[in-house]
Structure 1
Amino acid sequence: MPGFGAQDVGRLERLRSASGELSGAFGDLGTFLPYVVAAVGAGILAPTPVFAGFAAGYVLVAAVYRMPVSVQPMKALGAVIIAGGLTAVETAWAGGIVGAVLLLLAAIPSFERAARAIPQSVVTGLQAGLGLMLGTVAFGLMSHDWVMALASLAVLSLALLLPRGPWVPLVVIGAVLLVPHAGPPMTPASPAGGIDTVHAVLSGVLAQLPLTLLNAVVVAAAVARSLYPDRAARVNERRLAATNGLMNLLLAPLGAMPMCHGAGGIAAHRRFGARGMGAPLIMAASCGAVVAMGPEIVGLLMTIPPAVVGALLIYAAADLILSPRLLDARPDCRPVIAAAALATVFLGALAGLLTGLAAEGMRVYIRRRHRPGSTHSGG
């Protein structure tokens, strides 16, 4: 029997890499699908510009970063849109304004230094808080069908043994084919009456900006440095702010959903096998195919069971919560992490940042006060 040569090893490695890029490309569907399906399915945003926008965003990511950086719906603005708080025109204005602000920040040379000045304990707490928020959403989705959710989790857990297997497409396609499930009928949401357009837009922008700056810039850069230490220079705070800004300033006015590079998405793409630019290009091609298929694709998307979406989302949440920085944190940093995480969950990302900074300041003060030789130490 012929031996197993170097060419065969290389062929197997290329196959393994391609399988990982394919599975990892769809690793962020847990965040992507709920917002997109809700906004498009309810008739608030048109499917063609929404999916065309995500296709363009992933092409931009592949060209700029050459690695699997996520392109997600903006969560705060997405929630406002789905609740009927913004019309399509107001969404375009809000996305464009957020994009312009991010581009202005990216142009400031000291922005990256200021972003990195945030203590690691605070960033870790923010990351954990965002993970807990995603986990809450995930459990809500999985509660629709626990049997389906647990079966999906069982298949997805194979990624722990074979990280670059095609587990995500297998779960999604299998759920659609084997368990046809139509989501609850969605009716177009009406903008809340009596709310001034300018007020609605500014409220959406102010709700989104702190979350984007923290999750899609500061925490996203920290996650990328942790997961890809050899390529971390490509994913710095200024560059993330710039690509976040470009996507929204150029695409939101054309009808795209406001987008960002969420930290959880970066973790999710890698968790399911993505390592290079193949994954974002696959997502770009998939979104382009949706555009070519037309509005009928919305009905197909609605057949993906919510429990499956929740199972995908729980892995992204776990990657955010159980970061190496959390597991390796010094004991005196853990209260800071907990304070920032809990404030993020219950009060939002901006409150999490402020609470974390206050807790870190208190930690430093206590440590200095009890340092040996300090005039304040002792009884």
Structure 2
Amino acid sequence: MTCKYSFLNRCDRLSGEFSGAFADLGTFLPLVLSLIALNQFSPQGIFMGFGLFALFIAIYYRRPIPVQPMKVIAALVIAQGLTPGMLQASGILMGIILLVLAYSGAITWMAKQLSPAVSIGIQLAIGLQLIWMGGLMMSNTWSIGLIALAVIFLSRFLPLRYLAMPAVLGAGMLWQYHTGAADSFTPIVETQWTIGWPTLDEWTSAAGLLVLPQLALTLTNAVIATSAMAKDKFPEDGDRLAPKQLAKTSGWANLLLAPFGATAMCHGAGGLAVQHHFGARTWIAPAIFGSSCILIALAWGPGIAGMLSLIPLAVLGSLLTIAGSQLAWSRRFIDGRPFCILVIFSTAAVCLLVNTAAGLAVGVVLEMGRRQWLTISDLKS
């Protein structure tokens, strides 16, 4: 009997690693497939970049630290039809900036200025944005998206619950194959792997149009907030998950892989939340994800492109919604002090109404005011 339960537990853990490995597809696939389908970027370079980065993460951290596209850069490139050279330049520039901040120690100082309340506020804003994006992706076929959400939610109460996400993906692809009734990323064009180098105009344009808007989100969500969440979920790992380390790994990955066609990449608190929710706990999850990306890059052709295009947009939207809800929620909403709640919701509101950098500034100013008030109160007493 003991052996039976041990076997079931092992299967449950492995299914969790497998499910968690692909739990962040709601964020990953829409951006990556849009770059390939709409902008005609090289799928080989993009998938190979993610694969190598994820395998390095598996070896270096031995935890499911997520690997994601830099959302602001990818979204602007897609929306404005920018060139591969601009995308390449933005990745290299982001890599250099992150490495300078990491090795100079500036990122450690910045992390100390960011209180948990400010970090939670930023996570709340980003989580709500992901939920909104997920809803838009489900809007044309609500029934598919809601069924996927319901299945994943109800699976929490069932054995081998971590198999729900790949099962939903597989069922959605089969349904799309037989009916073709749902929105999806089609057609995905076949593009050759080309390696180039940005022009001077592409460097300057990327710095102003892509790097500056992305920098605030990367520092807050991909470095500082991800570090805070990782330490909370894996407290035994300590300084190995510090902001300085996350900045180094993101920096080196972009600096080394962007010249070969990889898109700008980073970590992300939302990805960590959803991967952990679906059962990822060790190096196995990023190793599975990285190996899959490398296989896709090496075997890219009409067959792989057609298979990925079968994933209904509504299913991806349901995954994105789950990632957003996991990121947005915090126990501080229940047990936090009144001023803490004020900082959280003020930071989130300004992030949503203005931008992440402005929200960060408001949160830091409020926290500085609170500290100054406490100092004056102590002096008077």
Give the TM-score normalised by structure 1.
0.90
| 2:293 maps to 1:287 | yes
Equivalent of residue 117 in structure 2, options 121, 138, 142: 121
Mark the CA change 1:178 to 1:185 in structure 2 (over 3 Å): closer, same or farther: closer
Residues in 2 aligned to 1:186 and 1:235: alpha-carbon distance in whole angstroms: 40
The one of 333, 336, 343 equivalent to 1:329 is: 336
| Matching of residues 184-263 of structure 1 within 5 Å | 185=186, 196-202=201-207, 203-263=209-269
Q: Does residue 170 of structure 2 align to residue 169 of structure 1?
A: no
Range with greater deviation from structure 2 (63-72 or 38-47): 38-47
Q: Which residue of 2 aligns with 1:38?
A: 34
Match of 2:195 in 1: none
Residue 162 of structure 2 aligns to a residue in which SS?
A: coil
Report matched runs for 1:40-189 at 5 Å.
40-109=36-105, 111-162=107-158, 164-180=161-177, 181=180, 183=184, 185=186
2:363 to 350, 353, 356: 356
**CA distance in 1 between partners of 2:202 and 2:258 (Å):** 17
Equivalents in 2 of 1:61, 1:164: separation in Å? 26
Contact 2:39 2:81 in 1 (8 A): no
Amino acid corresponding to residue 257 of structure 2 in structure 1: L
Change (3 A) 1:212 1:184: closer
Residue type at the aligned position of 1:177: L
**Matches of 1:373 and 1:56, distance apart in 2:** 55
**CA distance in 2 between partners of 1:84 and 1:294 (Å):** 26
The superposition leaves residues 71-123 of structure 1 with CA deviations (integer Å, 9 ceiling, x where unpaired) of 00100100111123521112111100100111111112353243133111111
Alignment of 1:341 onto 2:326: no
What amino acid is aligned across from residue 337 of structure 2 in structure 1?
R
- Decide whether aligned partners of structure 1 residues 372 and 141 sit closer, same or farther in structure 2, where only a CA change above 3 A counts: same
Contact residue 218 and residue 266 of structure 2 kept, 8 A: yes
Greater helix proportion: 2
Whole-angstrom CA distance in 2 between matches of 1:368 and 1:105: 30
Q: Distance in 1 between matches of 2:53 and 2:243?
A: 17
Deviation at 1:165, TM superposition (A): 2.0
Q: Which of residues 315, 323, 331 is equivalent to 1:316? A: 323
CA distance in 2, matches of 1:131, 1:17: 27
**Which is worse superposed, 42-51 or 216-225?**
42-51
Give the whole-Å Cα distance in 2 for the aligned partners of 1:161 and 1:367.
46
User: Which amino acid is 2:241 matched to?
Assistant: V
Higher mean displacement: 358-367 or 29-38:
358-367
Distance 1:164 1:270, change over 3 A: farther
Q: Which deviations, in whole Å up to 9, do the C-alpha atoms of 1:105-149 show, x marking residues without a partner? A: 111235324313311111111111111111111111111211001
CA contact (8 A) 1:20 1:274 kept: yes
Stretch of structure 1 that moved more, 295-304 or 138-147: 295-304
The 2-side partners of 1:308 and 1:121 are apart by: 32
What does the per-residue CA deviation read over 1:37-64, in whole Å, with 9 as the maximum and x for residues that have no partner? 1001114311001111110011011011
Unaligned runs of 5+ in 2: 190-199
Question: What one-letter code is carried by the residue in structure 2 that aligns with 1:168?
Answer: M
Query: CA 1:67–1:372 in 2, change beyond 3 Å: closer, same or farther?
Result: closer
- Looking at structure 1, the residues matched to 321 and 289 of structure 2 have their Cα atoms a distance apart, in angstroms, of 20
| Residues 44 and 87 in structure 1, CA contact (< 8 A), matched pair in contact too | no
Q: What is the deviation of 1:366?
A: 5.6
**5+ long unaligned stretches in structure 1:** 189-194
Q: Secondary structure at the match of 1:36?
A: helix
Asked whether the 8 Å contact 2:93–2:211 carries over to 1, the reply is: yes
**Identity, % of aligned pairs?**
37
Matched AA of 1:176: M
Number of matched residues?
364
CA distance in 2 between counterparts of 1:66 and 1:343 reads 36
The structure-2 alpha-carbon separation of the partners of 1:327 and 1:316, relative to structure 1 and needing over 3 Å to count, comes to farther
Provide the C-alpha distance between the structure 1 equivalents of 2:318 and 2:166, rounded to a whole number of angstroms: 13
- Looking at structure 1, the residues matched to 48 and 255 of structure 2 have their Cα atoms a distance apart, in angstroms, of 15
The aligned amino acid for 1:299 is: G
Secondary structure of the structure 2 residue equivalent to 1:273: coil
